[in-house]
Amino acid sequence: MVEEFQASKPIYMQIADKINQQIIRGELLPGNKLPSVREMAVKSGVNPNTIQRTYSELERMEIVETRRGQGTFVTENEGMLHQLKLRMQMDIIESFVKNMKELGLTEEDMVSGLKRYFIGKREI
């Protein structure tokens, strides 16, 4: 089925996020070839110009590289991929912290809350 997208974020960014997640989870490995723009467009039901923009953005972030006449590949620069992982973690932490602050919680509340959460999980 055609994918669903959130309204608040450009579609090209949402697809870039998805590809980044696949890279971090190891579903896409360094040096792996990404689907062609057309294949990706068909797979996700998205305008090819949008996919082109996703690929350009990933290239700008140095996460993928386009080899002339061959296609687009995940970078083999492990340093870049490590940075990507840190950056995505940071994004999630930032939004978590922001939400908690909006509830009026302090840093200590968050840390102890997290600890309690993980202990609770283990006991279940």
Which residues here bind other proteins, judged by CB under 8 A? 1-3, 5, 7-12, 38, 41-42, 44-50, 53
Residue 91 CB neighbours (<10 A): 11
Question: Which CB, 3 or 91, lies closer to other proteins?
Answer: 3
CB 65 to other proteins: min, Å: 22
**Angle 40-95-24 (CA atoms, 0-180°, nearest 5)?**
40
SS3 state of residue 25: coil
Residue 83 CB neighbours (<10 A): 14
33 secondary structure, DSSP code: B
CB 103 to other proteins: min, Å: 23
CA dist., res. 33 & res. 49, Å (int): 19
Question: Which CB, 12 or 74, lies closer to other proteins?
Answer: 12
**Quick one: residue 26, left, alpha or beta (phi over 0 = left, psi -120 to 50 = alpha)?**
left
CB 6 to other proteins: min, Å: 8
Question: Which CB, 46 or 64, lies closer to other proteins?
Answer: 46
Question: Which CB, 2 or 124, lies closer to other proteins?
Answer: 2
CB 48 to other proteins: min, Å: 5
